[in-house]
Amino acid sequence: MPIAYRRSRCETVADMLRERWDVISKCQACGLIMRTDLALVIRVSGAGVSLWNRKARCRRFVEFQGRAPGMDWHEALRAE
């Protein structure tokens, strides 16, 4: 099942935290991979923030990737 199908149940960071998603950020320029602290994202940006189709700054850009329970690997958080 593509990760995009899971978006309807886990739109926000609060949803991902509740459903026990493992989210990482991966820089496409330098290759740095870091675990995303969803509780910290909620404290800083609010429970309603979404990481879908979102990027952050690094040297070039960071892509957020998620792994829902039952998934074997992380996939880019991209969906319509």
CA distance 36 to 20: 12
The tokens describing 69, both together, are 């329970």
Residue 69, SS3 per DSSP:
coil
The tokens describing 48, both together, are 């309603």
Largest CA distance in the chain: 32
pLDDT tens-digit series, residues 17-59: 999 999 998 887 788 888 899 999 999 999 999 999 988 777 6
Residue 45, pLDDT score: 95
Higher pLDDT residue, 6 or 17?
A: 17
Residue 60 pLDDT exceeds 80 = no
Residue 55, pLDDT score: 82
Instruction: Count CA atoms closer than 13 A to 3's CA, side-chain side.
Output: 22
Residue 59, pLDDT score: 61
Residue 77 pLDDT exceeds 80 = yes
